[in-house]
A and B are shown apart, each in its own frame.
Chain A
Amino acid sequence: KAGVTQTPRYLIKTRGQQVTLSCSPISGHRSVSWYQQTPGQGLQFLFEYFSETQRNKGNFPGRFSGRQFSNSRSEMNVSTLELGDSALYLCASSPRTGGGVEQYFGPGTRLTVT
């Protein structure tokens, strides 16, 4: 089975621009979660989607948004980029939502904002 894939792997943007990141979960997985990872803050939860519905949202500003399609693929969008948005964005999929479910992470998208 193919793993979680994320595109693009690397991205450089300037302040004020917007960006869209894509995540394809493992086949059959319906839950997709997004995380931001930085050296200072570690892994921080952004949001979770299950069956095209946002189930949970982390403590990030409204500039961060996402969606999930009927094939479980997910996208996240960051508008009006700030320097502090430079980070590794990780997507993780799991077969179901709820407690105790192992998450399978993708390789991440490294976003640099200049």
Chain B
Amino acid sequence: GQNIDQPTEMTATEGAIVQINCTYQTSGFNGLFWYQQHAGEAPTFLSYNVLDGLEEKGRFSSFLSRSKGYSYLLLKELQMKDSASYLCAVEGNTPLVFGKGTRLSVIA
């Protein structure tokens, strides 16, 4: 079956670093996406990982370990505008399967 797990909620302080984990068990694996979704808005693309390792893109980085079925999204120098839901999605033998998302609250 398809299973993607993410923490439901996280809270972090402005200026800090936060790591949002995602573990998955899916039929086949081609790649893993991270999307950001602000409340009441559409999801927007953050990153796509195919190979093991860390991909850095400004304040955001995404890590993948295919052998462990594990990924994380790292957000540095947190800003209030980073308060949003972060969705992990796996591309495998079936169409894109999304986790339920992690709601991140950034506090002053």
**A interface list, Cβ under 8 A from B:** 4, 33, 35, 41-45, 48, 56, 58, 90, 99-100, 102-108
Complex A-B: 15 CB contacts under 8 Å: A4-B42, A35-B98, A42-B87, A42-B99, A42-B101, A43-B87, A43-B98, A44-B98, A48-B95, A58-B95, A99-B30, A99-B91, A102-B48, A105-B43, A105-B44
State whether the Cβ of B97 lies closer than 8 Å to any Cβ in chain A: yes
The 8 closest A-B CB pairs, nearest first, are A42-B100, A105-B42, A43-B98, A56-B95, A102-B45, A99-B30, A45-B95, A105-B43
Determine the residue in chain A with the shortest Cβ distance to B89. Answer: A43
State how many angstroms separate the Cβ of B71 from the closest Cβ of chain A: 15
Which listed residue (A43, A45, A99) contacts B43, Cβ 8 A?
A43
Q: Which residues B50-92 have CB closer than 8 A to chain A? A: 50, 87, 89, 91
Give bound CA distance, A58 to B30, whole Å.
Answer: 18
Give bound CA distance, A104 to B45, whole Å.
Answer: 7
With a cutoff of 8 Å between Cβ atoms, the chain A residues found around residue B42 in the complex are 4, 90, 105-108
Most chain B CB neighbours (cut-off 10 Å) among A90, A99, A108: A99
Determine the residue in chain B with the shortest Cβ distance to A104. Answer: B45
Q: Cβ of A107 and Cβ of B30 under 8 Å apart?
A: no
State how many angstroms separate the Cβ of A46 from the closest Cβ of chain B: 9
Give bound CA distance, A90 to B41, whole Å.
Answer: 10
Determine the residue in chain A with the shortest Cβ distance to B50. Answer: A100
Give bound CA distance, A4 to B41, whole Å.
Answer: 12
